[in-house]
Chains A and B, each alone.
Chain A
Amino acid sequence: MYVVRYYLIRRLLLIFPTLLVVSIVVFLLSKIVPQDPVLSQLRFSATDIWDGREVNSEALYSSTYLEMGLDLPNFYFSVLPDNYPSNLNAISNWQDKKLIKALITQGYNFDQIDPLIHCLSRLRIGEENAELIQTFYNSAIINQLSVISDLELQQVVAELDENKSTYFVPSIRWHGLDNQYHQWLSSTLQGQFGRSFISGKTALSQVSTAMLWTLAITLPAILITYTLGLIVGYVLGRNPKGKKERVLNHFFYLIYSIPMFWLASLLVVYFTTNDHGAWTNIFPSVGIDIYPGSSTTSQIWMNYHRLLLPIICISIVYVAYIARLFRRSILDERQATYVMTAYAKGLSDDEVLRKHIVPNAMLPLITLMVGSFPRALGGSVVIELIFNVPGVGRLLYDSLGLADWNIVFCIVMTISLVTIIAYLLGDFLYALVDPRIRYE
C-alpha cells in the first residue's frame, strides 16, 4: 500500500501542472484562432453599427478593444522576428493593425512603419488622397504610394525601403506580469470567469445552468447503462457457448455499432409523429418548453417527459457497449487459475461465477465508470442539438462559433479538472478494490 500511496500523492500533485498546461494551451488557442472577439462583442451589444449607420465605428471598435483589455501582450514573454513591434496588441485600430501585419510579413521594419502610419493618417484627412490611401490599406503594396506627392511621405517610404530585410532572427521579449494570460488566470483563480458576450450573464451561472440540463440527461443514462449493462453482460457471460446467449450477444453487437445521431434521428422521425400510424406517436415532439421565471431545476422537472427520448437514446447504445465489455471481462477471468482452484474446492458453476469470477470481472469497469462522469458533464453535442436541449455540449458548440471565449474557458477548464480528478479517482478505487495492484 505504501507504493500505491506514494504513486497517488505524486499523481495528486501532478494535477496542478497539468491544469496549468491545459489553461495555457486553451488560452493560446483562443489567441491564434482567426476570430475577432471585438466584432462578436459589438454584434451583440451595439446593433447600431450593423444597421448601416456606422456610428463612428472605428472609434467604437478601438474603445471596445481597450475596454476588453486586448491591448496587453498575450503572454509573459514573446518570441517574434526582430522586425516586429514588442507588442502588436497595443495597436487598437484594426485597419492599422492589418496594414502593419501585412507590411511586417513583407520584411519591413516596424520602427519605420510607425512614422508611415502617422503620415498616412495626416494625409487621409485631405480629400484628394483618401481613395489612394484606402487602396494602399487594402493591398499593402508600398509602390502604390509613389503617386502621392508629399515630401514627408516619400522620405518615410525611402527609409522604409532602405531598412527592408530579407531574413529575420528571433528576438525574445519579456513582458512581465501585465499580460492577458496573467490577468485571466488570476481572475479565474478568484472564481471569476467573466461574462458572456451574448447573453450578458456571468459565464459561471450560464455554464452551471447548462450543466444541470446535461446532467439531467446523462446521469439517469449512466444509471440505466450500468445497471442494465451489468445484468445483460452477466447473462451473456454466464454460458458463452449457449445458443440463446450467442444470439443475444450478436443482437447486442448489432446495437453496439449504431451511430448515436442516427438512432436519435430515427427515433425522432418514427416515434414523435403520427405519420407512420398513430401507435408510433409515443413520445412528445422534440424541444424544450421554457417557463420563464422558474428555476432551472423546476424547468427540468416540468420538461421531464421530453428528456425521456434522449435518455433512452444514450442508454441503448451504451448498454450494448457495457454489456459486451462485461461479457468479455467474464470470459477473460474464466481462464484464470483461481477459477480452477475454486472448482477444485467443489464449488458449483453458479457459485464460482458469483463469488469469484464476477467480482474480478467488474474491476476493469471501475475505471470506465469513473471515467464516464467527466464525459457525462461534457454532454453530447449531437444529442443536445437533435433534441434541442440547452446543455453544455450545445453551449460549447455555439460559444466557439461566436468567439464567446469566456464561456469556452469556463467549460473546458471545468471539464479538464473533473476529468483529471476522475482518472485519479479511478486509479485510487482500482488500487483500493484490488490489493494486487502495485503502481511503480
Chain B
Amino acid sequence: MIRGLRKYGLKPWQLISLMTFLLVGILSEFLAHDKYLICLDSGVSFFVSCEYCNRGIAPPIPYRYNSIDKNNRGVSPLGKQQVASVYYRHWLGTDKLGRDVLAGVIEGAQVAVGIGFFSMLLSVIIGLLFGYLSGFLGDDSIRISWLGFLLLISCTCLFLFYFSYMVSPIRWLLLLSLMPLWLIGVTFFSTVETNKLGITIPLDIMVMRLIELFRSMPIIFIILVLLVLIAKPGYWSVIIIIAIVRWPTVTRYIRAEILKIKEQNFIQAAKMIGLSNRKIFIEQVLPMAISPVLVVCAFGFSSAILTESTLSFLGIGLPVEQVSWGSLLSQSRSDINSWWLVLFPGLMIYFSIYLFNTIGDTASEYLRGEVES
C-alpha cells in the first residue's frame, strides 16, 4: 500500500506522519492508560489496576483521558508538579479538573481518526454513487417504460411512508434491505430503447438540483437542525452529520472528474462496441478515477477533522464526557490563562489538517501531471 501511495507522488514524511497519526489513533488505549497493560503476577491478565499488580508492562503514559489527578489541577507543563517521579509527570499539563492533557490529546487522536475516516468514507461513497448517476449516466442514459416509472414512484413513496411510521426495528431492516433491491430491479428491467415509448430520467438535473438546495441553506443551520433532530448525538451521528454536510462538495468534484474521463476516446470506443454502462464504469472509468478519489479522501479527512473539532469546541456534537481536541480547546474559553490548553490540542488539529491538505495537494498535482512517478 505504501508503494502504491508513493506512486501518487506522496513524499516520505507525509507517509510517515500519516502512519504515525493512524497508529496513535488506533492504539490510543494502549498508549495512555491508568492501569497496567499486561500484568504478569500470576499468569497473564490485561488492564489491571496498579494497586493489584506488582510486575507487568505499564503504558508509556500513566494516565487515561478521564483519570483525575487531585494533586495537580490546572498545572502548567513548565511549572512545578506534585508527582512521584518523572514517569508520572504531566508533560503537557493538566486541565482544571486534573486530567492529563497528553492523555487527552492521544484520546483526541482516536476520535479524529475514527470520525475522520468513517465520515470521509461515507461521503466518498455517496459522492461516487451520485457522481456515477449524474456525471456518468447523465440526463439521457436511463430511459424506462411508463409502467416502470409509475412503479418506481409509487414504491418510493410507499417506502418513505412505511419507513417513517414503522416502529419495529426488524421490519425497518427488512424494508431497508428490500427497497434498494426493488429500486434497482425496476430500473434495470424496465429500461427501454430510445425509440420506444417511455420516459428519460434526468439524473444529472435531479442531483444538481438537490446539491443546489443544500448549498442555498447555511451549513451551520443544516448541522444544528440535524443535531437537534437526533436529540442525543453520539459518535456515529456526528459521522453521519459530517458526511451529510460534505457530500455535495465531494459529488461536484467527482462529477467533474468523471465528465472529463467520459470525454476520452477509449470510453467512446467502449460505448461503440456496445459494452454496458456498468461494465464501462467499473472497468474503464473507476481505475481512472482513483487519483481524484484519493484527492477527495485526503481533503475529506481534513475537513471532517476540522468540522468535528469545531463542533466539539462549540460544545455540540459529541457527548460532553467524550474528550476530543475541540473539547480540550474549548476549556480554554473559560480559563484564558491556560495557554497549554490552547496550544497543544490546537497544534494537533493543525498538524493533522495540514498533513491531509498537503497529501490532497500532492495527489492533485499528480493528477495534473506535475509530479513524475
Q: What is the interface of chain A, defined by CB distance below 8 A to chain B?
A: 18, 21-22, 25-26, 29, 32-35, 79-81, 105, 168, 170, 253-254, 256-259, 261-262, 265-266, 268-270, 273, 275-276, 378, 381-382, 385-386, 393, 396-397, 400-401, 408, 411-412, 415-416, 419-420, 423
Contacts and interface: CB of A to CB of B under 8 A. Distances in A.
B342 A266 contact: yes
Interface centre among B217, B218, B342, B346 (most CB of A within 10 A): B218
B217 A26 contact: yes
Contacts of B225: 29, 33, 400
B218 A257 contact: no
B357 interface: yes
Contacts of A25: 213, 217
A26 B226 CA distance: 12
B231 A34 contact: yes
B314 A18 contact: no
Contact of B332 (A26, A254, A265): A265
Given A257-B302, A411-B221, 13 more contacts: A34-B229, A80-B165, A261-B329, A265-B329, A269-B332, A269-B337, A378-B218, A386-B333, A393-B220, A400-B221, A400-B224, A416-B217, A423-B215
Contacts of A412: 217-218, 221
B321 to A, nearest CB: 20
Contacts of B212: 18
Say whether chain A's binding surface is mostly helix, strand, loop, or mixed: helix
B337 A32 contact: no
A168 B313 CA distance: 45
A270 B332 CA distance: 12
15 contacts: A18-B209, A26-B217, A29-B225, A80-B165, A256-B357, A259-B309, A259-B350, A261-B309, A381-B220, A382-B310, A382-B313, A396-B218, A396-B224, A400-B224, A412-B218
B349 interface: yes
B264 interface: no
A401 B314 CA distance: 13
A386 B333 CA distance: 8
A262 B220 contact: no
Interface string B137-167: 0000000000000000000011001000101
A170 B161 contact: yes
B216 interface: yes
Nearest to A21: B213
B306 interface: yes
Given A259-B310, A261-B329, A419 B220 contact: no
B342 A269 contact: yes
Contacts of A378: 218, 220
B224 A397 contact: yes
A411 B218 CA distance: 9
B336 interface: yes
B158 A170 contact: yes
A118 B314 CA distance: 47
A274 to B, nearest CB: 10
A382 B332 contact: no
Contacts of B306: 259
Interface in B152-185: 157-158, 161, 165, 167
Interface of B: 157-158, 161, 165, 167, 209, 212-213, 215-218, 220-221, 224-225, 228-229, 231, 302, 306, 309-310, 313-314, 329, 332-333, 336-337, 339, 342-343, 346, 349-350, 353-354, 357-358, 361
A262 B342 CA distance: 7
A34 B216 contact: no
A259 B333 contact: no
B216 A419 contact: yes
Nearest to A105: B167
Pick the most buried of B158, B165, B361: most chain A CB atoms within 10 A of its CB: B165
B363 to A, nearest CB: 15
Given A33-B228, A412-B217, A385 B314 contact: yes
A170 B162 CA distance: 8
B310 A261 contact: yes
A7 B349 CA distance: 44
A28 B361 CA distance: 40
A257 B161 contact: no
Nearest to B357: A257
Which 10 residue pairs across A and B have the least CB separation, nearest first? A262-B346, A257-B354, A416-B216, A378-B218, A400-B224, A419-B216, A33-B228, A257-B353, A265-B342, A170-B161
Contact of B314 (A80, A381, A400, A411): A381
A423 B215 CA distance: 10
A257 B303 CA distance: 10
Contacts of B231: 34
A259 B346 contact: yes
Contacts of A401: 224, 228
A259 B308 CA distance: 11
B223 to A, nearest CB: 9
Contacts of A168: 165
A22 B213 CA distance: 7
A423 B310 CA distance: 27
A420 B212 CA distance: 9
A79 B220 contact: no
Contact of A32 (B224, B229, B332): B229
